[in-house]
Amino acid sequence: MNDLDILALAAHRDDIEQTCGGTLLKAAAMGQRTGILDLSQGEMGTRGDATSRAREAEAAAKILRVQWRQALDLPDGRIENTFANKLKVARVLREQRPRVLILPYWQGRHPDHYTASILGYEATFLAGLTKLGSTPATVDIPAAEELLSLKPHRPFKIVYASLYYDVRPTFVVDITPHFDDKVRSLLAYDSQYSDQSAGSGLFPSHLEIRQRLETMARFYGLLAGVDYAEPFVQKEVGLVEDLTLIPVKSM
């Protein structure tokens, strides 16, 4: 099995489609191997259920051209940063061995989102520990035995998809050629986003969904002088080798 170039982790099925689906499409167009790890299965959604959400996530994955997608069994609406949950994520990191890990931004309205961010970061640290799974504190946890058979791994880079939170991005990714497919991937969640009476007071209409996605993508694109973009934050200082090749115009 080939290692992933990029793994995107999120709390819920459909989070990736909204926050960084265009970026995954762009990566796939460049020949990179991409994957998605959903922490929960969508059983708490107002519309649909875990079974329909699984079917829709598979359809969305095909549109996004990802090579791998899996959902863990963390409770929807109650994702917790426990040691056992970190081991579940660490197992995936060791199996898929991504070079880049996309996490949700570490602040936000939904507790599942910011918990998933911290959980993902701490699981990444654990995934690189050689003795993880062999100590008395871990041997009774189901994921521990499998961890022992997998080589330690940490992604080279962690970036945070920040669309759900009002923060100035460190950088944006131009998704202009891929915007329409990004929208299609989200609308693949038919039970969630098709026009219907159930939850009509909570959910926007089909047309409004596209308008919202377009407005946000145009806003972040405007910051960098492109039509559509997705925002990201990185914690590290950026490194520039050649000042004449910095792409975004100042005036």
- Give me the pLDDT at residue 47, please: 64
Q: How many residues does the chain have?
A: 251
- 22 contacts 53 by C-beta, under 8 angstroms: no
Higher model confidence: residue 159 or residue 134? 159
- Show the CA angle centred on residue 156, arms to residues 87 and 130, nearest 5°: 45
User: Does the pTM of the predicted model rise above 0.85?
Assistant: yes
Cα 10 to chain centroid distance, Å, stands at 4
Instruction: Let me know if residue 180 belongs to a domain.
Output: yes
Q: How many other C-beta atoms are found inside a 10 Å radius of the C-beta of residue 73?
A: 12
Q: Where do runs of H (alpha helix) occur along the chain?
A: 15-19, 21-29, 50-64, 83-96, 111-127, 142-148, 179-187, 190-193, 206-224
pLDDT band per the 50, 70, 90 thresholds, residue 201: low
Q: Domain span at residue 174?
A: 6-245
- pLDDT, tens only, 51-101: 888 999 999 999 999 999 999 999 988 999 999 999 999 999 999 999 999
Please check whether residue 251 lies inside any domain of the structure: no
Q: Per the domain annotation, does 250 fall within a domain?
A: no
Nearest to 37 by CA among 7, 65, 63: 7
In this structure, is residue 56 part of a structural domain? yes
Residue 145 resides in a domain: yes
User: How many angstroms separate the CA atoms of 124 and 35, rounded?
Assistant: 16
- Is residue 1 a part of any domain in this protein? no
**Which amino acid, 33?**
R
Tokens representing residue 126 in the block:
């654990």
140 occurs within a structural domain: yes
For residue 104, tell me if it sits in a domain. yes
- For residue 45, give the DSSP letter: -
| 97-128 per-position pLDDT tens digit | 999 999 999 999 999 999 999 999 999 999 99
User: pLDDT digit string (tens) for 25-45?
Assistant: 999 999 999 999 999 987 766
- CATH of residue 30: 3.40.50.10320
Total structural domains in the chain? 1
Q: What is the C-alpha to C-alpha distance for residues 188 and 66, in angstroms, rounded to an integer?
A: 15
- Who's near 173: CB < 8 A, 6+ residues apart? 20, 22, 23, 26, 229, 230, 232
